[in-house]
Amino acid sequence: MDRRGFGLLAMLGFCCFLGLCLCTSAFYYHQLLDGTSITYTTSKKTVKSSTYRMKNDYSDVATTYVSYKEYHNLELRLEEGAKKYVEEIPIDGENKTIISLHTLQSKKIIDYLYDSNGYQCNGYVIYNPNNKQYAPYLRCGTYRSVDYLSRLE
Q: Give residue-wise pLDDT tens across range 66-80.
A: 457 888 899 999 999
* pLDDT bracket for residue 46 (50, 70, 90): very low
Comparing 2-6, 25-29, 54-58, 103-107, the range with the smallest average pLDDT is 54-58
* pLDDT bracket for residue 44 (50, 70, 90): very low
Q: Give residue-wise pLDDT tens across range 69-122.
A: 888 899 999 999 999 999 998 887 888 899 999 999 999 999 998 888 888 999
Per residue, what are the HEC states of the chain?
CCCCCCCHHHHHHHHHHHHHHHHHHHHHHHHHHHCCCCCEEECCCCEEECCCCCCCCCCCCEEECCCCHHHHHHHHHHHHHHHHHHHHCCCCCCCCEEEEHHHHHHCCCCCCCECCCCCEEEEEEEEECCCCEEEEEEEECCEECCCCCHHHC
